[in-house]
Structure 1
């Protein structure tokens, strides 16, 4: 077993003794879950999956489906159309609260139940089966394998889902939902009943982490702008009325589910998933929250941790027969151009007029267009023969 897996196993064992909380009692099938189940999985940029604990245990995705259905709605309709129907603000209330705008009936965000039902209602298809198929197809692409619905959990959710139906009726009265309540709500119940493992969830989280590209399958699932919009909502709204504390303590876009799972995303680094069925008063898994918080602290995953590589990309200078060459590697963002321009100016100050200076950017993994524009402007001000290789 490698060092990283040992680190994950150690983190898992540190939270195993936590016994607070209880399984979700309001959905009979979830109430029967084994409360001692505990699992953790991480997926990095090379697509290697590292999982420990009850990694093969299956459970339903529940509200962790919401970010991915939001992604599908964004793909099908675009940002403006989606957010005309649902807001983008933290509700500060429980997941099943009636958080609707007083004048429009628009739900606060897509990750509370009301907002998720409104988002699900946007997915195309003639009936529940057709809409569910579109959703499961996308969830499967994110997970890197075919997923399916747990029919017993679906039946349990549907039989106890009167509050969600009430929310849907209220939104339909405002015109937020354009389809029948049954079509919207039964599709929503079915999406929440998709079976996953902690490994599946980590792969799904990693696909968001890498801008919609699945590092396990190599498939482009959604575009970068869609992944970015989804992560923005997860960062502020994904943990319901614990979202502020979560951002303070963990600092990662995340989404929880009442089956006991949590997904968390360290953008451009890795996706994380943890699972344990006992929930706290917010509907979040007690042990999953603890373990992801622990990992964030130990591994420096918080979004607001300083990342020097963005401000200081790798720069090397080589002498050639044609003149010096500056080679760049890693990622070049806007902040990183300052260091590159400093090197350019220092070299230019010691070179005769008309000499050739080459900037080789072919090894950059990623370059922001604004950074290139700044460097091109810098080139124009130097009295040298300049060449840019990309």
Structure 2
């Protein structure tokens, strides 16, 4: 097992015994979830994904869909037009709260239900089928594969969604929502019922992390400015009324969903996703939060950690008189930086008469342990060594 996979497996093992929280039961289909499930995936800048745990298990995306639909609408209509319908301030209230501006009726932000319904109402479409198809196609572009809607989850959401219908009609009364509220709210239910795996969600997070470019397909899904706007919003509003504590402890832009998924990202570094169905009082996965706290500490992911050239360490190549190829690194080497260094090494054609390869990391100002483990393992496979001291 490679060292990064082992690190991720160890993190899951450490939190697997935690049983705080409860599965969401206000949507009957979600109450049937296997509470023991736990999965984690990380996607790097070159599109490589490592997934551990119950990584093949599908779950409905729920509120993790909100930043992506917001991104699609931002890209299509522009920031000014979208912000006429929804704000960008933290609500400090639960996800289903009625958080509307007194003067305008705008929802506080697009990551609570009222704001998400307003945003879904801006997706072009003459009827429910067309609007839903556009949303699923957009989510699929972020994931890098075709996604589908779980019709049982959709039916369950629709059957129990009277509060969301009330929010839609309230938004219509303020002229925030145009057209038939029924179409907007049902499209929102179908959006939330889209099926994903942790690998899908980590790729989606990676697409935001890398300026709107899907790291697996290479497709430019949204503009870099839109990606930046969405990541900024996630930083302050993504974890509902637990967003402040999240930013302090984990320090990553993130978004959770009541099926137990959480996505997070380190800008220009990687996307990460975790799934575990038991939720805390804020509606966020309890074990998912613990996993990402651990990863933030161990991989140096906190957005406010001090960094230099985190994603692109400087690489120099020299040949010693005895034929040794010496690769020197300077700057800071993070997990994603290690992947880029390895890609560069694989691109160097080492002549047959080169007796040895040395990767010298003594010039680095900061070296993250996970990056060193990856580098040692891969350079060892090339028959070389990593020189630390």
TM-score tier (shorter) = 0.7 to 0.9
Match of 1:264, SS? strand
Give 1:118 deviation, angstroms: 0.3
Give 1:309 deviation, angstroms: 1.8
Kindly indicate whether residue 223 of structure 2 is the aligned counterpart of residue 219 of structure 1: no
The within-5 A match list for 1:177-256 is: 177-256=177-256
Instruction: Measure, in 2, the Cα distance between the counterparts of 1:164 and 1:203.
Output: 29
Kindly indicate whether residue 296 of structure 2 is the aligned counterpart of residue 299 of structure 1: no
Equivalence for 2:338: none
Equivalence for 1:282: 282
Give 1:206 deviation, angstroms: 0.5
Deviations 1:162-219 (A, max 9, x none): 0001111111101110121101100000000000001100010001110011111111
Equivalence for 1:27: 27
Equivalence for 2:351: none
Instruction: Measure, in 2, the Cα distance between the counterparts of 1:43 and 1:224.
Output: 18
Query: Given that residues 238 and 256 in structure 2 are in contact (C-alpha distance below 8 angstroms), is that contact kept between their aligned partners in structure 1?
Result: yes
Equivalence for 1:169: 169
Give 1:83 deviation, angstroms: 0.8
Give 1:314 deviation, angstroms: 4.5
Match of 2:10, SS? helix
Kindly indicate whether residue 158 of structure 2 is the aligned counterpart of residue 158 of structure 1: yes
Deviations 1:226-257 (A, max 9, x none): 10111011010000000000001111110000
Instruction: Measure, in 1, the Cα distance between the counterparts of 2:101 and 2:86.
Output: 10
Instruction: Measure, in 1, the Cα distance between the counterparts of 2:310 and 2:133.
Output: 40
Kindly indicate whether residue 53 of structure 2 is the aligned counterpart of residue 42 of structure 1: no
Deviations 1:272-321 (A, max 9, x none): 000000111100010001101110011110110111227998499xxxxx
Deviations 1:5-34 (A, max 9, x none): 110000011110000111111000000100
Kindly indicate whether residue 117 of structure 2 is the aligned counterpart of residue 134 of structure 1: no
Kindly indicate whether residue 146 of structure 2 is the aligned counterpart of residue 146 of structure 1: yes
Equivalence for 1:51: 51
Deviations 1:343-373 (A, max 9, x none): xxxxxxxxxxxxxxxxxxxxxxxxxxxxxxx
Give 1:264 deviation, angstroms: 0.1
In structure 1, stretches of 5+ residues that fail to align are: 317-328, 332-390
Instruction: Measure, in 1, the Cα distance between the counterparts of 2:313 and 2:38.
Output: 39
Match of 2:19, SS? coil
Instruction: Measure, in 1, the Cα distance between the counterparts of 2:150 and 2:214.
Output: 25
Instruction: Measure, in 1, the Cα distance between the counterparts of 2:115 and 2:9.
Output: 36
Instruction: Measure, in 2, the Cα distance between the counterparts of 1:39 and 1:144.
Output: 19
In structure 2, stretches of 5+ residues that fail to align are: 317-329, 333-389
Match of 2:309, SS? helix
Deviations 1:91-114 (A, max 9, x none): 000000000001111000000000
Equivalence for 2:272: 272
Instruction: Measure, in 1, the Cα distance between the counterparts of 2:280 and 2:314.
Output: 45
Instruction: Measure, in 2, the Cα distance between the counterparts of 1:311 and 1:270.
Output: 10
Instruction: Measure, in 2, the Cα distance between the counterparts of 1:51 and 1:209.
Output: 18
Equivalence for 1:322: none
Q: TM-score, normalised by structure 1?
A: 0.80
Match of 1:247, SS? helix
Query: Given that residues 308 and 331 in structure 2 are in contact (C-alpha distance below 8 angstroms), is that contact kept between their aligned partners in structure 1?
Result: no
Instruction: Measure, in 1, the Cα distance between the counterparts of 2:185 and 2:271.
Output: 29
Instruction: Measure, in 1, the Cα distance between the counterparts of 2:6 and 2:133.
Output: 38
Q: TM-score, normalised by structure 2?
A: 0.80
Equivalence for 2:361: none
Return structure 1 stretches of 4+ with deviation > 2 angstroms: 310-316
| 1:298/1:159 CA distance change after superposition, 3 Å | same
Match of 2:13, SS? helix
Instruction: Measure, in 1, the Cα distance between the counterparts of 2:309 and 2:221.
Output: 27
Equivalence for 1:263: 263
